[in-house]
Amino acid sequence: MIGLIVFILLFGFIFNYFYKAAYIRPDNFPPGPPRLPVYGGYWILLAKAYNNLGLASTRLAKEYKTKIVGLFLGPYPQIIVNDPIIIKEVLIREEFDGRMDTVVSRLRSFWKKFGIFFTDGYFWHVQRRFTLRYMRDSGFGRRDNVLEDVIAHNTKEVMNIVINGPQTIEEKVIVRGDLIYLPHFFAVPFINGLLHIITGSTFPRNMYPDLWYLAKQTLLFQRSTNDLGGALIITPWLKSMLPEFSGFKGLSNGNQALLDFFEVIIKDAIETYDEKYDRSFLDIYIRAMKEDMKQNKRSTYSVQQLQLICTDYMFPTATAVEMVLTMLVEQMLMHPEVQEKIHEEIDRVVGRDRAPTLDDRNKMPYTEACIREMMRTETPVTLGVAHRAMVDTKLGGYDIPKNTSVSVNYVSLHMSKDIWGDPESFRPERFIVNGKLQVSSDKSLPFGAGRRLCAGETFARQGMFLVLAMFMQQFKLSTADGKPLKQASKRIQGIITTIPEFWARVTPRY
């Protein structure tokens, strides 16, 4: 009898403990799923739409009848904003400019806090301001004729591999006869464009395989932060016990490839540095580092920080922009009329006697609109990079505790019927009025907004237009097997949304 009483009391105690842990929430915290042992509401989120966190968040918001979902990822409070107006509020409010300190952010920066993307506070402000000030002069934030020439030259070189045939075994990995391997086929112009901005030089054609390898490893990193990447953040001990299953090995290998790549470049820049000349952004940073370290014992400048700056900007450059163009290729394979309209516009505006330039961009609204519509229908980063509430604050009428992780569901903005009318349709014409591109009609935010706005937006938009226009002027697209493509491929969720690599057939138009 005594044993039964003890059992009942023990059971009641345990039940009460887990009940409180699951359902007791901070005062006025947004509604959301219960906090289950170890992983909180993480698996509940995934269960709503595995491999599609944007859709999963939308479904949770509908289930709990709220624009802001509150849950716990293990012990960490997390909110997900599913309302276009509140999304913009989060992006522009300074108290949400923080970043979460996770095993993933530490892994990629020597287990410290370096770089631009995953740092905050004074360190982030100083380094971001300096970086953008000087990289902008080389075309990162505005049009630059030399950068345009670099991207155009490298695009021609890659297309020549198709037109004249590959010359090496390495080139045959990307081009086989009239077949091209996507997304990596598009990588070289963008990577060499960024290298021109950072280093003042580019890799020649015989070194393109090094850039393709870099793109491959960068994509490995992006994809390794898939659904199980959240489990790695919540329970970082998985990196030792299950390095492959948790994604840690892929993250580590992919990231190390970029660190090694820039380590060699930066080492050479330091060894050949001459304070009398500024050959590139690297020289400007090295000079500032030397001066600041003399005056400031807690300087934010360092060789490792420079390595992470370069790595931060290379990650989206080597993957995201190529993936947008690759998804657009897939869209054209499913809907040939899109390809036909782009071809018609190029022939009418540019003709065939010269290559397209950025001067043609305003005269080619449909081509530009296709890129914008692709980024709207396939949000590159569905929940963005998580923000952190730097102080106790309020949002949408709820109390948000300090250090709460704050994510914005861009899918809820990009797929809003109130904004777009027919959001599920791929319809570039929505951005065109009276034959002209209406940028004011584009309410999408593929690059974010506010102080955390993607610094490479101008570089990415200009580069994507130029590469796409030059590519489509030369080639007609079809599937590798010649059969119509009936449906889109499976989406792979990671830091960015990607699709599986595939071969596409290109036929010279003349």
| Rounded CA separation 406/414 (Å) | 18
Task: Say which amino acid occupies 346.
Answer: I
454 in a labelled binding site: yes
Cα distances (angstroms) measured from residue 372 to each of 83, 140, 446: 21, 19, 9
| Rounded CA separation 377/369 (Å) | 12
At residue 242, what are phi and psi to the nearest 5 degrees? -135, 65
DSSP 413-448: HHT-HHHHSSTTS--GGGGEETTEE-GGG----TT-
**Per-residue DSSP letter, 397:** T
Kindly state the tokens that stand for 437.
Answer: 């591109």
Number of residues that this document lists for the chain: 510
- Tell me the sheet residues that pair with 78: 71, 405
| Rounded CA separation 477/485 (Å) | 12
CB 394 within 8 A of CB 400: yes
Kindly state the tokens that stand for 5.
Answer: 């009483």
Helical segments of 49-94, H only: 53-63, 84-92
Within 10 angstroms of residue 343's Cβ, the number of other Cβ atoms is 17
**Per-residue DSSP letter, 279:** -
Q: Which residue has the tokens 């490479």?
A: 456
Within 10 angstroms of residue 360's Cβ, the number of other Cβ atoms is 19
Within 10 angstroms of residue 398's Cβ, the number of other Cβ atoms is 18
Cα distances (angstroms) measured from residue 486 to each of 183, 334, 371, 472, 479: 20, 6, 21, 22, 11
Cα distances (angstroms) measured from residue 90 to each of 94, 112, 277, 337, 418: 8, 27, 42, 39, 20
Residue 272 class from Cβ within 10 Å (0-12 exposed, 13-18 middle, 19+ buried)?
exposed
At residue 238, what are phi and psi to the nearest 5 degrees? -65, -25
Cα 321 to chain centroid, rounded? 8
- Please give the annotated binding residues, written as ranges: 454
- Please give the annotated binding residues for heme, written as ranges: 454
